[in-house]
Amino acid sequence: MHLQYCYGCLQIKFITLDIMNQDPPLGRYDVLFCFSVTLWIHINHGDSSLEDFLSKVSSLSKYLVIETQPWKCYRTAARRAVRAGQPPFPHYESLKIRGNVTEFIDNYLTNCCGLDKLAVLGTTGWGRQIIVYLNPH
């Protein structure tokens, strides 16, 4: 789905896509928002795919606003899948990035992707931090 809004000289585009299987439209964005996605990419695609995702989104925009999901959210998702009779998540047991996932994401974005951490905007009611990064490149 692509939605586009114009407010004076401000242009806002909303794009829905499976970033693990599709490339976003070419170009660089001013701001990229990633809410409630890191857990699902990680749990369904593994450690290396989380790193690939972080590398990809960090290169696509000047600012990255990301909501991280702590390890307790992973455990909750796994328990819910079992209760619902769903198959286990493909990579849950083999994940090496565990515990403080937020710290891993922060370190990866700053040390490996070269982003500058600008601010922690706050923590949601679910204990998820919303963090803003700047790509100085």
Q: Is 29 within 8 Å of 101 (Cβ atoms)?
A: no
Host domain of residue 124: 30-134
Number of domains in the chain: 1
User: Does any domain span residue 7?
Assistant: no
User: Does any domain span residue 80?
Assistant: yes
**pLDDT for the residue numbered 27:** 73
Pairing of strands 116-123, 129-134: antiparallel
What CATH number is given to the structural domain containing 80?
3.40.50.150
User: Does any domain span residue 44?
Assistant: yes
User: Does any domain span residue 93?
Assistant: yes
**pLDDT for the residue numbered 30:** 86
Across all residues in the chain, what is the average pLDDT? 87
User: Does any domain span residue 11?
Assistant: no
Average pLDDT over residues 28-49: 91
Q: Tens digit of pLDDT for each residue in 11-26?
A: 777 777 787 788 777 6
